[in-house]
């Protein structure tokens, strides 16, 4: 064997050994779990169980659009936090142009939030009707 062949074998042999060890470990844990795992059968086995609470109602329950709107707003502002964290980590390298870029980014998101508030997208309670006491 030449020196390049043995170096190549040593380089790729470690990765191959790692893959083999992982596959062996996965097969071992799956086999042990199937041998030692409990086998309970009954009426409660097919019931949905989430977070320690037995579900009540149908999974096809309708939700208000407001729930989805709040979820989208959460995702938008969560992504904003990710971008601003990256900016804060590199604030010294980006300097004043980076500050103005981040300020513009925050301003655009703030304008969107103000728009959502103005059109009533963030109002949860129904509007009260004015009662006419003249009659």
Q: What is the pLDDT of residue 36?
A: 86
> Which of the two residues, 7 and 103, has the higher pLDDT score?
103
3 state DSSP class of 26: helix
In this structure, the strands spanning 53-54 and 49-50 are antiparallel
Model confidence pTM above 0.75: no
Mean pLDDT of 125-129: 68
d(Cα 86, Cα 68) in Å, to the nearest integer?
Answer: 27
Question: For residue 24, what is the DSSP state?
Answer: H
Enter the tokens of residue 93: 């390298």
Give yes or no for residue 25 having a pLDDT over 70.
Answer: yes
Give yes or no for residue 24 having a pLDDT over 70.
Answer: yes
pLDDT band at 10 (very low <50, low <70, confident <90, very high): confident
Give yes or no for residue 76 having a pLDDT over 90.
Answer: no
d(Cα 113, Cα 77) in Å, to the nearest integer?
Answer: 10
51 Ramachandran zone, left/alpha/beta (phi>0; psi -120 to 50): left
Mean pLDDT of 57-78: 78
> Which of the two residues, 68 and 85, has the higher pLDDT score?
85
Q: What is the pLDDT of residue 97?
A: 93
Q: What is the pLDDT of residue 131?
A: 62
d(Cα 93, Cα 91) in Å, to the nearest integer?
Answer: 6
Give yes or no for residue 135 having a pLDDT over 60.
Answer: no
pLDDT digits (tens, 9 = 90+) for 36-45: 877 777 776 6
């Amino acid at each position: 064997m030449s020196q390049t062949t043995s170096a190549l074998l040593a380089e790729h042999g470690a990765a191959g050994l790692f893959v083999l060890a992982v596959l062996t470990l996965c097969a071992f844990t799956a086999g042990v779990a199937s041998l030692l795992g409990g086998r309970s059968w009954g009426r409660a086995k097919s019931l949905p169980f989430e977070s320690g609470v037995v579900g009540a109602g149908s999974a096809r329950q309708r939700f208000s659009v407001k729930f989805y709107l709040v979820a989208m707003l959460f995702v938008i502002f969560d992504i904003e936090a990710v971008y601003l964290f990256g900016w804060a980590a590199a604030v010294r390298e980006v300097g004043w142009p980076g500050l103005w870029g981040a300020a513009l980014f925050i301003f655009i998101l703030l304008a969107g939030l103000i728009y959502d508030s103005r059109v009533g997208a963030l109002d949860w309670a129904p509007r009260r009707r004015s009662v006419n006491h003249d009659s």
